[in-house]
Amino acid sequence: MALSFEAARTMILESVIPLPPEAVPLLDVVGMVIAEDIRAPWDMPLWNNSAMDGFAVRAEDCVAGQTLTVDGYIPAGGSASGITVKPGGAVKIMTGAPAPAGCDAIVPIEETVEKNGKLILTGQVRPGDHLRIRGEDVSKGELVIAAGTALRPAEINMLASFGYRTAPVFRRPKVAILSTGDELVEPGEDIGTGQIFNSNDYSIAAAVKQLGGEPVLLGIARDDRQSLTEKIAAGLEEDVLITTAGVSMGDHDLVCDVLEALQVERRFWKVDIKPGRPTAFGLKNGKPVFSLPGNPVSSMITFEQFVRPALLKMMGHQRVIEPLVRAVMQETIKKKPGRVQFLRVRVAKDGQRLVASSSGDQNTGILRTLLRANGIAVLPADLEQLASGEEVDVQLIAAVDIV
């Protein structure tokens, strides 16, 4: 008996856990998820310092036209030890240099005239001007990056600012990808009558890489038990195995049988969705095994619905299912009740609302319709007709703009 869409996805997500964390060099952690809380080991900045090239002064000495005596200099990377701003005096200072004792403001160079050791001010100065105060950014012990945060350049900057060379992040999953079928040949090879190029390996691998995983291409398994067993056994050595094709009811659809022989625990086979009903999911020693349909459109849509959330959870992400948006359907859609249907749509802005229209022929053999789509409308299982002008839930496709 086929599972409902919601039950199938819930079962998958309850079956997978984040991968063990590891220390990864900072340049390699962008997009990865931090595995533990990061707290500031010290105040940032660690000392009062200048935000500008200019002069350290006492604000009470400064009014427009006032002349001060320059009696010191602190370069970037220098020390303010033993240097004090005296009444009526100023200390030349560079950006980032520690502020000397007695200083409560910095006057930018462009707001002064310096001549023969004397400094003439051209504007008013207020206490605190252009002065960075110790701990004003982050205080010692403060939580700066919470566990579960996906690392962007900003977080990497913070880690580097505190001297981290590596970060503790959830490991990237190694995802074995296997296409099956006697009709397949690899791109670049000669193709004969009745043969097609193996495109699923590349689309699935690209999707895995886009998420931050590491695809491991196993090539093509032929429609015989020996070939399938060898390839699938190799794939079970990785963190995740994805197969495409061979899970329907045809004479040569042997994938489920071989998985069972290799002691993969089948959790479900067939989901009440369209496209993608003959999708299967199992576990081998806790490792998830996804068997997706061979049709390229079906394999890509079932990857989005089932594999993507699982991989995100394995990589430590907190939000693994993107929230749906509401859009107004621009045409009437009819469907048979009983299955959740995924409709490839083009979403656009219309004033303050979103509108959606079919991106073309919904036959699963029409890949071009998926190229034109920037969203997937999710039609409920019990729906028979969605009238033009009614709202529908839409899953936006990652990294595609709406205009």
Report pLDDT digits (tens) over 158-209. Answer: 999 999 999 999 999 999 999 998 898 989 998 889 898 999 999 999 999 9
Report which DSSP code applies to 303.
I
Average pLDDT, the chain: 94
3-state SS assignment for residue 292? strand
For residue 403, being part of any structural domain is answered with no
**pLDDT value of residue 123:** 83
**Domain range for 61:** 49-132
| Cis bond upstream, residue 20 (ω within 30) | no
Number of Cα atoms under 13 Å in the Cβ half of residue 282: 24
The CA distance from 333 to 381, in Å, is 13
Nearest CA-CA partner of 24 in 315, 318, 320: 315
Which band of pLDDT confidence, cut at 50, 70 and 90, is reported for residue 249?
low
**pLDDT value of residue 400:** 65
> Does 16 have pLDDT greater than 60?
yes
Of 260, 288, 314, the residue that ends a domain is 314
> Does 401 have pLDDT greater than 90?
no
* Number of structural domains the chain divides into: 4
Whole-number Cα distances in Å, 89 to 18, 73, 113, 118? 60, 12, 14, 9
**pLDDT value of residue 158:** 98
- Largest Cα–Cα distance of the chain, in whole Å? 96
Report pLDDT digits (tens) over 50-69. Answer: 999 999 999 999 988 889 99
| 219 and 82 in a common domain | no
| 148 and 197 in a common domain | no
> Does 251 have pLDDT greater than 50?
no
Percentage above 90 pLDDT, the chain: 87
31 backbone φψ class: left, alpha, beta (φ>0; ψ -120 to 50): left
Of 314, 333, 355, the residue that ends a domain is 314
> Does 11 have pLDDT greater than 60?
yes
| 25 and 164 in a common domain | yes
Mean pLDDT of 92-97: 97
Q: Provide the whole-model pTM.
A: 0.90
256 backbone φψ class: left, alpha, beta (φ>0; ψ -120 to 50): alpha
| 266 and 223 in a common domain | yes
Number of Cα atoms under 13 Å in the Cβ half of residue 295: 18
Report pLDDT digits (tens) over 285-329. Answer: 999 999 999 999 999 999 999 999 999 999 999 999 989 999 999
| 301 and 177 in a common domain | yes
Sorted by sequence, the CB contacts under 8 Å of residue 10 that are 6+ apart come out as none
For residue 277, being part of any structural domain is answered with yes
**Domain holding 96: CATH number?**
2.170.190.11
Q: Is the dihedral of CA 211, 215, 219, 220 positive or negative?
A: negative
Which band of pLDDT confidence, cut at 50, 70 and 90, is reported for residue 75?
very high
| 25 and 15 in a common domain | no
Nearest CA-CA partner of 85 in 67, 64, 65, 106: 106
Mean pLDDT of 17-34: 97
Mean pLDDT of 339-360: 96
